[in-house]
Amino acid sequence: MNWRQLLVFVRKELTDHRRDRRALLSASVGVVIGPLLISFMLTQIAKDQIAAEDITISIAGAAYAPTLVTWLEQQAGVTVEDAPAEAEAAVRAGTLDLAVVIDEDFQQDFSESRPALVKFIYDGSENNLRAKISRTRQLLSGYSATTGALRLMARGVSPQAAQTLEVQEVEVSSAQQRAAKILGILPMMILLSAFGASMGAAADATAGERERGSLEALLMNPVALSAVVGGKWLGAAVLSALGSTACLLLSALAMQAIPLQDLGIRFQLEAWQLGLGVLILLPAAFLAPALQMLVCSFSKTLKEAQPHLGFLTMLAMAPGMIAAIYGAENADWMLAAPFFSQTKLLSSVLAGERPEVWQVVLSAALSLAAAAVCLQVIARLMRSENLVINR
């Protein structure tokens, strides 16, 4: 390896990339978009959660069950209003969130100790209403349980006799683990930013050089191919490393700004988590440009390289996405798949878990080995006459 030449290449690549405004702009969009998107989504969820505690219940036939309506009005944060005529149609059309329809025989059934009919109308496909729906349902069953207990007591029976089970809910996931679940897509976003940050640079250093014809002029110099390929790669890898680190730090900042405690989530990123996160991320940031340069080496022009880069990114992210959709359990084999392994490790670090040292080392070693193989192949390709003279 000719170190002096390697440095010349890195220096030139960095100067070149720094001046490529368009590539820099799209790289920064890639860095910012993930944190923005996730903080937006989490803020929305937090808002819905607060909104759920203050609910308005539309009731049709309130006059048939004055005690129920009064009881509801007494509950904290509950407002009762009269439902419009055709309440069911209004919910169906989405103009009304939810409605409770009280049967006209309510009073009679109730006083004769028969179950009195209350119709609860809602649209379960409305994700943002989920909290309101479950609160309303809880209120209705709460009223049912309270009045039922009173009836039993009036008959001299202990209300406990009607209760055959005592269900005690023990939530085992820690608050931070729950946070990680919602934030599950964040690691993927950060890895995507590693791809986005180096994409323009990697394409320019390979397909771009061929398109301009500068590769021919460059390779006429007494240069070692290992230095050519290594220098171009390092130049792009710096961008990838900077971009993904920035994305990680930005996400951490964004998370501090969101009222996550409203979600019942304690999400506190500590310095060790960020440090370890960067350490896990860097090998992926080194592999991404190597892969990008490899696929772009087969293209004669930048335009030809574009779709290859898109497919590459999708392919690299595919295991992570599939696992997220099907909720795959953590398994050791996942550490063998580059990008997937970083997604997994980052998730657990963000959730406040400390991965084993061997897991971090294995993930890094495999990614770096894959990068080395890519660079070897690129150097071999550059020996090909067709590539050099861009035929």
Partner 1 sequence: MIEATNLSKRFGETVALDGLSFTSRNGRIVGLLGPNGAGKTTALRILYGLLKADSGAVTIDGSDVESNKLEARRKIGALPDIQGLYPRLTARENIYYFGRLHGIDEKTLKRRTGKLIEQFDMGSIADRSAQGFSHGERMKTSLARALVHDPPNVLLDEPTNGLDVPSVRALRQVISNLRSDGRSVIFSSHVMQEVAALCDDIVIVARGKAVAVGSPDDIRRQAGCEDLEEAFVRLAGPEAGSAL
Q: Which is nearer to partner 1, 102 or 215 (CB)?
A: 215
Q: Which is nearer to partner 1, 266 or 383 (CB)?
A: 383
Identify the residue among 32, 37, 101, 218 touching partner 1 (CB under 8 A).
218
Which of the residues 152 through 211 are near partner 1 (CB under 8 A)? Answer: 209
Residue position matching structure tokens 């202990």:
158
Q: Is 24 an interacting residue with respect to partner 1 (CB under 8 A)?
A: no
Q: How many residues bind partner 1 (CB under 8 A)?
A: 25
Q: Is 4 an interacting residue with respect to partner 1 (CB under 8 A)?
A: yes
CA angle 222, 225, 226 (to 5 degrees): 125
Q: Which is nearer to partner 1, 222 or 327 (CB)?
A: 222
Q: Is 384 an interacting residue with respect to partner 1 (CB under 8 A)?
A: no
How far apart are alpha carbons 338 and 98 in whole angstroms? 47
How far apart are alpha carbons 213 and 220 in whole angstroms? 12
Q: Which is nearer to partner 1, 15 or 163 (CB)?
A: 15
Which of the residues 344 through 373 are near partner 1 (CB under 8 A)? Answer: none
Asked if 65 and 106 touch (Cβ cutoff 8 Å), the reply is yes
In order of 65, 193, 370, the CA distances from 375 in angstroms are 77, 21, 9
Q: Which is nearer to partner 1, 173 or 214 (CB)?
A: 214
| Helix %, strand %, coil % of the chain (to 5) | 75, 5, 20
Identify the residue among 26, 131, 178, 212 touching partner 1 (CB under 8 A).
212
Supply the minimum distance, in Å, between the C-beta of residue 201 and partner 1.
Answer: 12
Q: Is 130 an interacting residue with respect to partner 1 (CB under 8 A)?
A: no
How far apart are alpha carbons 322 and 317 in whole angstroms? 9
Q: Is 225 an interacting residue with respect to partner 1 (CB under 8 A)?
A: no
Identify the residue among 3, 221, 271, 325 touching partner 1 (CB under 8 A).
221
Asked if 295 and 380 touch (Cβ cutoff 8 Å), the reply is no
Q: Which two tokens stand for residue 240?
A: 């990838």
How far apart are alpha carbons 42 and 44 in whole angstroms? 5
- In the complex, the residues that contact partner 1 under the rule CB under 8 A are 4-5, 8, 12, 15-16, 19-20, 209, 212-224, 385, 388-389
